[in-house]
Structure 1
Amino acid sequence: MIRHARGLTVLSLLVILALAPFSSAGAAMGGKLEIFSWWTAGGEAEGLSGMFSVYKKLYPGVEIVNATVAGGAGTNAKAVLATRLTGGDPPDSFQVHAGLEVQKYDPAGFLDPLDAIFKSEGWEKVFPSGLLTLLRYQSHYWSVPVNIHRANVMWYSKKVFTASYLTPPKTFDEFFKVADALKAKGIVPFVLGDKEGWEAGHAFEAVLIGTLGPDGYRGLWTGKTQWTDTRVTSALNTFKRMLTYTNSDHAALTWDGAGQYLIDAKGAMEIMGDWENGWFQSKNYADYGWAPPPGNTGVFDALSDSFSLPKKAPDRENAVNWLKVAGSRAGQEAFNPKKGSICARTDCNQSLFNAYLQSAAKDWRSNALVPSVIHGAASFESWATQYKDALALFVTSGDVAKTQATLQAACKDAGVCK
């Protein structure tokens, strides 16, 4: 973390220079700015606060209304937002996953395209080409990305692994050997918190990647790989076995509740996105390690958080300025180190980020990239919801054949599978 010194530091000068392109009339502006998101836990709330601070320095007369709806992956927020948009009561700007998730909100009907802002801010020069492709829908940009997250990370307790003389498993066979050894010691091998319904589907993405590889996994969302494929059957059987090593209270916990098992050294491994890194930091917990889930080495399961502009935003000018801050280097450097993510921009100062985030930035540049379905990058929201619900039910049913048939039917409903 940066320690603030008295007086005008070099860092302060850099921030001022970074903010220079924004409107010089900021101090004269007033009114409100309602930002709608689902960031309420630990590091994510701290990261959002950091970006608010950048905005307030520019526009101190604007009252920021932090309209958050708790629920990881936006499980609750998305429904509330859809009701507000269709009811003519939009916030000034709202969080949305970059990718096909924007289709849920009928962008042509309820959102303003942001092509002009992308051009004026020069963002096509500082956002990676792959991310720009993900952001475009119906030939327009509809949201401004603030970060890049990695979904496929296996977090583990260093204390547990060191005391057990174990190393993180690289294959599923190794995973089960490690899990058996940990279970014999009374430690929960594979922690899970699936109270909100999306977490099992999140973990299963990593199992699919580890079983099908990046090309096979991508094909599930394009129709090149059928959900009836025997490798999907194998992935479901593997996940079913993994679930026998999880905590008995998983249905009562959210993802961060499961993470507490690692902090308390009562659990060993959790497959969760790298927002867990920010959450661990907010808990002053440092005795953790990270590794690709089994079979995931060299693959980056990507997602990006972004902000959109509703057509009827009550304080449109304030909202446009918010988007400019969200896409700026100053905004992203204030947000991402706390959030536990890397900048969407390619020109951020890497020295601001911890060891994990620096490794993630390196992997982002070198790994095979695949889109997360749970987090809005791989498919339309309706298909992602069917996937999520099928895996949530699978946790309790363990019915491989029925789940696989449901996933294939969802692909057909989406018009992708035959």
Structure 2
Amino acid sequence: MRRTTRFLSGTLLAYSLLAYSVSAAASKVEVLHWWTSAGEAKAASVLRQGMERQGYQWQDFAVGGRAGISAMNTLRIRAISGNPPLAAQIKGPEITEWARLGFLRNLNNIADAEQWEAKIPAPLRDVMQYQGNYVAAPINIHRVNWLWINLRAFEAADADIPTDFDSFFIAADKLKQAGYVPLALGGEPWQVATLFDSLALSVMGPQLYQRAFLNFERNALLSDGVIEAFRLLAKMRKYVDDKGQGRNWSDTTQLLINNQAGMQVMGDWAKGEFFAANQQEGKAFTCVAVPGTKHAFSYNVDSFVFFKPNNENERQSQADIASYLLTPQFQRDFNRYKGSLPIRFDVPLPEDDHCAHASRDAFLYAQEHGTLSPSMSHGLSTTRYVQSAIFDVIDEFFYDPKQTPREAAEALYRAILSAQA
């Protein structure tokens, strides 16, 4: 049995000993999520308003911080006390862990009625299922491997938008000379891992990347590609500011918005922050794929699960939420604010959102050519326990210049091996 399963099983053992009681009353819907930044809060308001229009009393349960880690810790505490929320934002392999322990409601009836098989892209359906049954409702598709560009800084520095890593470092030097932070990076482990994730995808390519970070093959993890990704990560140290330790991702994006930094590697939720600040794509900012990843798509998918209800009122409340999530109106409005793609590809994208159109084109290309990759840094390729071990190695390397890229690759392999034991 994997240590991750033992961890969740041990944490949630009290579930079988407690009377199961969902806190939401008949007219209330309590939903746990970690959407707390400016753009995320606007996106979450779309769900709140949609449920209020149906007569429900929205009971917000927002837990920000650490890319959802704080929210998951809070959820475990609620679950072992026998008092989970009606619904919770959970993604990736953690969906399987909760389903395996018997917490989650089967959503097949809703999926059949709403024709999810026809609406959800085929590569993403399995993420929402456990033993062939739907146990989660998808919301969107995020592309992780984006490089965000502050066009005002690039113009002031007379720098060209990077097309490869040589031009990336040329631009970084010009931005630094012009007084800008070349690369905005918050010092949280998951942000450093997000940068490494895209570097690894670039230099390894999707197939080798998946062998390393989805299948955890020894030869792939110890390959020259992983070593090169660490080398590039080390080279980027001198281009980040010294005030980033502990800074959250949205405050880091704010450095571009406030014209203090030139670039940021971050998923397309960053676009939601630009839009929330009334910045216009093509004038204040733009997006390009991280060098070397134009035809690759590292994805993250937001989704909700629903805990087993106590009564018919709760069951109906959950059904109404799950059904609303895939409506065209919700898909359009929520993802406009969130920066992501609608999970439904029949929902039109805003004409003025170049980044959304580029993202959809990249997804369709990657789907056709087999270059879709579940993101390691955002919990789509592995469990949170293994992911945490990976984060520790990457973070230690970034802040320890004495460690060599080869030593880091070897440490990464050992950490993953230990985490899987």
* Pairwise TM-score range, normalised by the shorter structure: 0.7 to 0.9
Cα drift, residue 403 of structure 1: 2.9
Partner of 1:388: 391
1:226–1:408 CA contact under 8 A, matched in 2: no
Cα drift, residue 75 of structure 1: 2.1
TM-score (norm 1): 0.87
Rate the CA distance shift 1:223–1:347 in 2: closer, same or farther, 3 A: same
Partner of 1:69: 63
**Counterparts of 2:419 and 2:220 in 1: how far apart (Å)?**
13
| SS of structure 1 residue aligned to 2:221 | coil
**Counterparts of 2:365 and 2:303 in 1: how far apart (Å)?**
23
Q: Which amino acid aligns with 1:268?
A: G
Question: Structure 1 residue aligned with 2:307, among 310, 333, 338?
Answer: 310
Partner of 1:37: 33
1:373–1:379 CA contact under 8 A, matched in 2: yes
| Unpaired segments ≥5 residues, structure 1 | 1-28
**Counterparts of 2:386 and 2:358 in 1: how far apart (Å)?**
32
Partner of 1:240: 234
Q: Which amino acid aligns with 1:43?
A: G
Is 1:291 the equivalent of 2:288? Answer: yes
Partner of 2:18: none
Rate the CA distance shift 1:89–1:403 in 2: closer, same or farther, 3 A: farther
| SS of structure 2 residue aligned to 1:65 | strand
Is 1:339 the equivalent of 2:338? Answer: yes
Partner of 1:152: 145
Partner of 2:135: 142
TM-score (norm 2): 0.86
**Counterparts of 2:51 and 2:126 in 1: how far apart (Å)?**
28
Cα drift, residue 106 of structure 1: 4.8
Cα drift, residue 205 of structure 1: 0.5
Partner of 1:256: 250
Q: Which amino acid aligns with 2:207?
A: D
Cα deviation per residue 1:52-72 (whole Å; 9 max; x = unaligned)? 222222x22x21101000115
2:390–2:416 CA contact under 8 A, matched in 1: no
| SS of structure 2 residue aligned to 1:397 | coil
Rate the CA distance shift 1:384–1:138 in 2: closer, same or farther, 3 A: farther
1:309–1:320 CA contact under 8 A, matched in 2: no
Cα deviation per residue 1:95-143 (whole Å; 9 max; x = unaligned)? 012x313234354421122222211211101111111133233322221
Q: Which amino acid aligns with 1:128?
A: P
Q: Which amino acid aligns with 2:118?
A: K
- Percent identical among aligned pairs is 27
Cα drift, residue 168 of structure 1: 1.7
Rate the CA distance shift 1:72–1:49 in 2: closer, same or farther, 3 A: farther
Is 1:177 the equivalent of 2:170? Answer: yes
**Counterparts of 1:362 and 1:54 in 2: how far apart (Å)?**
29
Cα deviation per residue 1:37-63 (whole Å; 9 max; x = unaligned)? 000111111111112222222x22x21
Partner of 1:218: 210
1:50–1:335 CA contact under 8 A, matched in 2: yes
Is 1:360 the equivalent of 2:365? Answer: no
Cα drift, residue 415 of structure 1: 4.8
Partner of 1:379: 382
Worse-matched range after superposition: 36-45 or 110-119: 110-119
| SS of structure 2 residue aligned to 1:198 | helix
Cα drift, residue 214 of structure 1: 0.9
Equivalent pairs counted in the alignment come to 384
Partner of 2:180: 187
2:148–2:286 CA contact under 8 A, matched in 1: yes
Cα drift, residue 309 of structure 1: 0.7
Q: Which amino acid aligns with 2:43?
A: G
Cα drift, residue 401 of structure 1: 4.2
Partner of 1:350: 349
| Unpaired segments ≥5 residues, structure 2 | 1-24
Cα drift, residue 156 of structure 1: 1.0
1:93–1:313 CA contact under 8 A, matched in 2: no
- Cα-Cα RMSD: 2.0
Partner of 2:266: 272
Cα drift, residue 313 of structure 1: 6.3
Rate the CA distance shift 1:32–1:353 in 2: closer, same or farther, 3 A: farther
